[in-house]
Amino acid sequence: MCLRVLKPLALLTLIMFGIVTARGQAVTNTPTKPKWVADVSAGLTLTRGNSDTTLASLTAAAGRKTDIDEWSLGANATYGKAKVTQGATTINSTTAQQVDGFLQYNYLFTPRFYAYARVEGFHDDVASIHYRLTVGPGVGYYFIKNKRMDLSAELGPGYISQEIGTQRENYAILRAAEKFHWQLSDRARLWETAEIDPDVENWGNYIVVAEFGVEADLLANKSLSLRCYVDDNYNSKPAPGRLKNDAKTVVAIDYKF
């Protein structure tokens, strides 16, 4: 089953990148390429007293958009530890240790309709997800697309390879996702994303990932901003002894360059 799924997925991905390469070679006298836009944000929470806790988060993202294609990539790391003293006993524990990242390429057939190729990785030590690799092509459509707002939806096949607890799994999925961005004002913006990845052979096995955030500029040149966002990760079949849902709220300072 795995080979039967992987072969068409690999073929679709190669065809899409072949089209993109041919299009890029055919375009001449192209205007100056749009620059990459990147940002890095960091957040830190400390408590001291009856309990000593540390929670740190670091996020990096970059993207570039042209009339024919779009690139987006990002990575996120979260680490937390706690030390609780009860009399003569001290308990040390790791409360968060998570790393994830993604890379996505969109090829625009029209200003609104596009094909994409995406790869993402995920690790969560506390949830016993040693690794999760998700790959797949698909299609997307912008229902709203202007300077202040965009709303898009994506659908396509995919493949997950992961190790949860002591079990390794490989299975085909059907990825469905939506993304929303809204420029509330010249200095504030809002975003929201959601994705569901069900196993095509067992619909009761699925993963849901969602994020909601707001951001406001702190400087007139918009290079520094304050952002607050909530991440939610739901796994219908977690590792033994682990909960299905993990959520985190992050307040961070963001720097754009």
Query: Is the alpha carbon torsion for 139, 145, 147, 151 positive or negative?
Result: negative
What per-residue confidence (pLDDT) applies to 27? 44
What per-residue confidence (pLDDT) applies to 144? 97
Cα dist. 19→22, 28, 38, 110, 194 in Å? 5, 16, 27, 14, 28
Half-sphere exposure of 55 (CA within 13 A, CB side): 10
Structure tokens at 149: 């707002």
What per-residue confidence (pLDDT) applies to 1? 44
What per-residue confidence (pLDDT) applies to 201? 95
What per-residue confidence (pLDDT) applies to 69? 96
What per-residue confidence (pLDDT) applies to 26? 44
Cα dist. 207→37, 83, 127, 177, 243 in Å? 30, 32, 14, 12, 13
Q: Which residue numbers in the chain have pLDDT < 50?
A: 1-6, 8, 11, 17, 19-20, 22, 24-29
Which residue in the block uniquely carries the two structure tokens 């796994």? 235
Instruction: Encode pLDDT of 19-67 as tens digits.
Output: 445 454 444 445 567 889 999 999 988 887 777 889 899 999 999 999 9
What per-residue confidence (pLDDT) applies to 2? 44
What per-residue confidence (pLDDT) applies to 85? 72
Q: Domains, the chain, ranges and CATH?
A: 2-28+36-256 (2.40.160.40)
DSSP 255: E
What per-residue confidence (pLDDT) applies to 16? 52
What per-residue confidence (pLDDT) applies to 5? 42
